[in-house]
Amino acid sequence: MAELTYLQAISDGLRTEMRRDKRVFVIGEDVGVYGGAFKVTLGFQEEFGHWRVLDAPLAETAIVGACTGAAIMGMRPVAEMQFADFISCAWDHLVTVAAKQRYRAGTPVPITVRLPSGGGFSGGPFHSQNPESSFAHIPGLKCVCPATPEDAKGLLISAIEDPNPVLYFEHKHLYRRIKGEVPEERYTIPLGKARTHREGDDISVITWGAMVHTADEAAQQLDADGVSVEIIDLRTVMPWDKAAVLGSARKTSKVLVLHEDTRTGGFGAEIAATVAEEAFEDLDGPVKRIAAPDTPVPFSPPLEKAFIPQVDGVVAGLRELAEY
C-alpha cells in the first residue's frame, strides 16, 4: 500500500486499467501533451501513444459522442471533461443517445466520463458546479462520486469495466487535499454499495464526495456534546444504496442529507423523500437537508464560503436534529 493523494489515485486507477486492457483509451481537451488541466493523465501519451491518449477539439459532444460510437465497436473509452461544468455541452448526447440505447436497442454503451467537479477555490459559476443530480434523474446513466483515494481508484476501475455510461465526478477540492493508503494492485469497488464512513447511533448523515469530510469534522464536534453521528458515504449517487441508507435511518431514527449541489431538486430530495416514506414509522424527527442555496456558484470568497455547506452549518443542523 502506498499513500496517494486523491488525484494520484485517479491517475493510478486509469493507468492500471489502460495497462491491463488495450480497449481503454482516453480522449479530452489537453489530455495529451499537457496531461490534462489537472495533470491526471500526465505522462500517459508517452506511455500509451497518441491514439490512446487523444487531444480532442474543443467539442464536448464530439468527445462524448465519439466515445459512445467507439464503445459500441468494443472499446472502453474514458472521456475527460476539462471541468465538470462543460458536460452541459454533451447533455443531449448523454441523455438522448447514451442513456437510452441499451433500453431501446439492446446496445450497451460502456463509456466513462471523468468530471472534475465541485468548488472551494473561487472557480466561479462555471468551474465549480456539481451536476450529478441532473444526471442521476436520467434512467440509463450511472453517477459515481468518490470521497477517498482508495475509492477513487477502485470506483474508477469499476466505472470503466461497467457496461453502462458512467459519469465519474472527481472532486477538485479533494485532488491534493486528501491523502490515503491505496492498494498498488488492481481492485474494484462495486457501484451501488455505500460505505459507512463513521459508525454512530444518534443521527445518520447521508452524503458523498467532498461533503463526507465536512460531515466528518462536524461529527467530531458532536462527539463533544455526546451525540454520536453515523456517516454514510453513498460513493455512487446512481445507483444509490437505499438499503444501507434505510438501515442507518432505522438504527438512528434521525437523518440529515448533505450535499454540495444546490438544494431544490437536488438528489438529496430523492434520498430524503425515500427515507421519509419508507422509514416513516422509524423516524424520531424530520429528515433534514443541508445543501447549497439555489444560486449559481459565486466567485468571491465570502460568497462562495456562504454558498458551500460549511462545518458550522452542519454542526448546527446536527444539533437541531439531536435536540428534536
Partner 1 sequence: MAVAREAEPVGSLSEVREAGLDREDLLGVYRNMVLTRGIEERGHILYRQGKIPGSFYTGRGNEAASVGIATAMGADDVGTPLHRDMGVHIVKGVEPWRIFAQYMGRADGPTKGRDGNVHMADSKLGLIAMVSHLPAMLPVAVGCALAFRIREEKRVAVGWFGEGASARGDCHEAMTLAGVRKLPMVFVCDNNQWAYSTPSHLEFATEHVADRAEAYGFEGIVVDGTDVLAVYREARRAIEKARSGGGPTLIESVTLRMEGHAVHDDAFYVPKEMMERWAESDPIESFRTWLRTNADMTDAEEEEITGEVKRTLNEALRRADESPLPDASSLTEGVYASPEDLDTPHHK
Residue 127 is a catalytic residue: yes
Among 21, 30, 278, 282, binds partner 1 (CB under 8 A): 30
Q: Peptide bond preceding 239: is omega within 30 degrees of 0, i.e. cis?
A: yes
Alpha carbons within 13 A on the beta-carbon side of 90: 31
Could you write out the three-class secondary structure of 259-292? Answer: EEEECCCCHHHHHHHHHHHHCHHHCCCCCEEEEE
205 lies in the site for partner 1, by CB under 8 A: no
Q: Which stretch binds partner 1 (CB under 8 A): 55-63, 215-223, 253-261, 267-275?
A: 55-63
Least Å from the CB of residue 189 to its own copies: 22
Among 21, 62, 137, 311, binds partner 1 (CB under 8 A): 62
CB 140 within 8 A of CB 96: no
Whole-number Å distance between alpha carbons of 225 and 237: 31
CB 229 within 8 A of CB 318: yes
Least Å from the CB of residue 85 to its own copies: 8
Whole-number Å distance between alpha carbons of 290 and 162: 31
Q: Which stretch binds its own copies (CB under 8 A): 20-28, 109-117, 168-176, 278-286?
A: 278-286
269 lies in the site for its own copies, by CB under 8 A: yes
Among 4, 9, 26, 97, binds partner 1 (CB under 8 A): 97
DSSP secondary structure, 198-252, as one string: E--SSEEEEE-TTHHHHHHHHHHHHHHTT--EEEEE-SEEES--HHHHHHHHHHH
Among 15, 93, 114, 235, binds partner 1 (CB under 8 A): 93
Number of residues located near its own copies, criterion CB under 8 A: 44
Among 74, 185, 226, 280, binds its own copies (CB under 8 A): 280
CB 64 within 8 A of CB 12: no
172 lies in the site for partner 1, by CB under 8 A: no
71 lies in the site for partner 1, by CB under 8 A: yes
Query: Which H or E element spans position 93?
Result: none
Distances in whole angstroms, Cα of residue 148 to Cα of each of 77, 213, 239, 268, 285: 24, 9, 19, 20, 30
Beta-bridge partners for 142:
166
Which residues form the interface with ligand TPP (CB under 6 A)? Answer: 29, 58, 60, 82, 86, 89
Q: Which stretch binds partner 1 (CB under 8 A): 1-9, 72-80, 204-212, 275-283?
A: 72-80
Least Å from the CB of residue 278 to its own copies: 7
Q: Which stretch binds partner 1 (CB under 8 A): 13-21, 74-82, 205-213, 218-226?
A: 74-82
Cell numbers given for 306: 456562504
Question: Which residues sit at the interface with its own copies, rule CB under 8 A?
Answer: 85, 88-89, 91-92, 95-96, 99-100, 103-104, 125-126, 133-134, 136-140, 238, 262, 264-270, 272-274, 276-278, 280, 285-289, 294-296
Kindly list the catalytic residues: 127
